[in-house]
Structures are given as C-alpha cells and as structure tokens.
Structure 1
Amino acid sequence: MPAPLSLLCLPCAGASATMYLRWRRLLPRWIEVVPLELPGRGSRLGEDFVEDFDALVSLLCGEHEAALRGNFALFGHSMGALLAWGIAQRLRATGRPLPRALLVSGSAAPSQRDPDRFVDMDDDEALIADMRKQGGTPEELFASPELLRMTLDTLAADYRVCEGFAHRGAAPLPVPLHVFAGREDDIQPWRVEAWSAETLNAGFSLDWFEGGHFFIRQHEARVLAALVRRLPQSVAGEADVLPAIA
C-alpha cells in the first residue's frame, strides 16, 4: 500500500466541510480525507464569519499548522480552490512545507477571475437565483426557512470573501497543480486553463467532466478516480487502482 497521504479539503461558498465526508469511505485507505471547516458553519456554527480572504487564509494556516506538514495535498472546489491556492502561497511565503500537490476544482485561475461575478449579489433574491442557477442545492433546503436562512447568510459571507480577493501577481508555485472543471459550468474555459501559469515546471493537468458547476457531485466516481490518478505517483504508485464506486 502507498504511504499515507492527508488530503486537506476546503468547501465551496455557502457550504460546510461535511460536503467531503462521503469521500472518507470512497477513496482508498491510504488517502486520509481531512475536511477543513470554516468559521460560521457546521461544527463552527457559533463563530463569526471571516469575510476577508487574507485573514481567512491566515486563520486556517494557523489552526491547521500540524496538518499542513508531512505528506499532504490540498483540494478545494470553487471558493475552496481559491483558498487552497492561498494557503499554498502563504505556506511558501512563511517558509513552511509545501503540499505534495494542489488540486483545484470548479474555479477560474486566481489571475483570471471574472470581476462581474459578484455584482448585485447583495440580497436574498439574488442569492437564491444564483443558487438555483449553479445547481447542487437540494430542493428541500429551499422549503426550509431556517436552513435557507443559514445557507444564505453563509453564502453572502463567502461571496464577500471572493469579491474582496485581489490577485497581486504571486509567483507560480513549485508544486504539481491539477485542475478539474465542468464542461457546462459558466466559467469560460480560458479562465480555467489559466491555472497552468500558477505552477513552476512542477507538472500541470486539466481534466474536464460533463456537468455544470457541481460536476463533482454529478460525476463523483469519475472525479475521485481522476483525483487518485493525479496525486503524486511517488505516493499513489502506478499500480494503485481506485475501487469501484457505487
């Protein structure tokens, strides 16, 4: 069996780290899924949201200092992809160990984010419309006023994190970078392809899947198979095969 690898996973906007709990039983045993919870949701529901990108990255690096060492990789979907990249950048800036790989999903590259993405996203009606457009939200949530209120508050806070993000021309990272994207997502392909400039001769891949923004749920088995395949070969081993996923 390959050497154990910790896969630290960051959630998308409006979500909790629980979105990754299924992966613990679907991925090979040598991959330890470590969902990173953000303030204001899930097990941290009583905490205030952190609505500044740099402050949130700094907080996560401090809270998970022990996990951000050794044999680990970072994964994030949508906003989580941006946070994963930010964590890797901060680790390098502070002289700390870098991940074995950075895996990002459903996100434009940091340098090519759409400046109009969060325009007029400042009320419940707009947020609900955006949730329905993106898909991936169970209809039962819309029918529950309490759950909907919690989700909208979380989504609004996370959108402020994304809206306030500023790319300051950070140098490419010396780690392998692997991108997953949905063909029917509304992110223009060139914005996704621009991730290739974020790694420095360390290996880059881009896997496209059928589906929209939440292709990672629509085609979970294929995404997880690609994820295992893209992890460093010195860790995964060329002969390692992902079990069938129902």
Structure 2
Amino acid sequence: MLAVSAREAPQFHQPGLLHLQDDEALCHELLRLDGTDPALLTLPEVRELILPTMRADYALIEQWQLSSRQLLSCPIAAFMGREDPELDRQQAEGWASWTTASFTLDCFGGGHFYFREHPQPLLSRLLARLSAVQALS
C-alpha cells in the first residue's frame, strides 16, 4: 500500500520557486502552513539550523518532474486536512488514477499539518487501511 498525506496527485504538481527566495519568504510560507512555531523562527540559531533543510525540501518538491505514467498495482490511501491551503479534494482524489487496485481518501479536520494536533484519528485510519490490505493478501 502507498499512503500519501497532504500531497496532490502527480498530474496536479506545479513547479515552484520558493526554494530560490530569501529566508523571510521561506519563513512566511512555513508560518502560513502553520507547521512551525512562530517563536522558533525569531531565533537566529534555529533559523540557521532548519532553513537549509526546509529550502532543500522545497527544492526537491518544486523541481520534481513526472517521468512516467506507469500505474501502481498496490492500493493507495490518501489523507488530507479539510482546511489545507495547499490541497483541495480533487487534487487528492487524483491519486485514484495512479493505481489498478483500490483507492481511499480520508479527510480530517485541520490544515496542511492536520495530524499534528490530533494524530490518533489518522493513525487509527492508517492502521485500518493496512489491516484491510493485509486481509486481502
């Protein structure tokens, strides 16, 4: 099983340039997604530690290009936050076209990092999806 969280299906991917922007722009994006404590980004030593990693992460995401349209034979389970500013339901449902097996989409309250405040619902659903796949094998 392939599990994807808070990520659009490949056909919806749009290249980006955030990884090339200055530290302030990167910090603004991290705050917009509500994935980083604002107090941490005021500390120069923390910024020096995390921004290069975040910039590299964005570079990988933004520069990725689809190279093959080969379908997977495993089930795909997609998970998303209903209020995610980066992902809408259609983009998440697009994963269904990438498998010859089953596809499921589970939506939870919250934004891009919906799992941070209430991890148990995601973990329960993920375990249920894994159990269902195991029962079929």
The aligned counterpart of 2:24 is 125
Tell me which amino acid in the other structure corresponds to 2:10: P
Note if contact 2:82-2:111 (Cα within 8 Å) is conserved in structure 1. Answer: yes
Tell me which amino acid in the other structure corresponds to 1:126: A
Change (3 A) 1:236 1:123: farther
* Residue 14 (structure 2) pairs with residue 114 (structure 1): yes
* Residue 57 (structure 2) pairs with residue 170 (structure 1): no
Tell me which amino acid in the other structure corresponds to 1:173: L
After TM superposition, the structure 1 = structure 2 runs for residues 125-204 of structure 1, keeping only pairs within 5 Å, are: 125-186=24-85, 187-200=87-100, 202-204=101-103
Note if contact 1:209-1:219 (Cα within 8 Å) is conserved in structure 2. Answer: no
User: What runs of 5+ residues in structure 1 fail to find an aligned partner?
Assistant: 1-100, 238-246
The aligned counterpart of 1:52 is none
SS at match of 2:106: strand
TM-score normalised per structure 2 = 0.88
Tell me which amino acid in the other structure corresponds to 1:119: L
Provide the C-alpha distance between the structure 2 equivalents of 1:190 and 1:234, rounded to a whole number of angstroms. 24
SS at match of 1:104: strand
* Residue 128 (structure 2) pairs with residue 222 (structure 1): no
Tell me which amino acid in the other structure corresponds to 1:145: P
Provide the C-alpha distance between the structure 2 equivalents of 1:173 and 1:232, rounded to a whole number of angstroms. 19
Provide the C-alpha distance between the structure 2 equivalents of 1:163 and 1:234, rounded to a whole number of angstroms. 32
Provide the C-alpha distance between the structure 2 equivalents of 1:210 and 1:120, rounded to a whole number of angstroms. 27
Change (3 A) 1:153 1:222: same
Provide the C-alpha distance between the structure 2 equivalents of 1:125 and 1:139, rounded to a whole number of angstroms. 12
- State the structure with bigger RCO (CA 8 A, min sep 6), 1 or 2: 2
Note if contact 2:8-2:92 (Cα within 8 Å) is conserved in structure 1. Answer: yes
Note if contact 1:175-1:203 (Cα within 8 Å) is conserved in structure 2. Answer: yes
TM superposition outliers: structure 1 runs of 4+ over 4 Å: none
- What is the root-mean-square deviation of aligned Cα atoms in Å? 1.8
Residue 190 of structure 1 and its aligned partner are, at CA, apart by 1.4
User: What runs of 5+ residues in structure 2 fail to find an aligned partner?
Assistant: none
Structure that is richer in helix per residue: 2
Change (3 A) 1:234 1:142: closer
Residue 236 of structure 1 and its aligned partner are, at CA, apart by 6.7
Note if contact 1:134-1:213 (Cα within 8 Å) is conserved in structure 2. Answer: yes
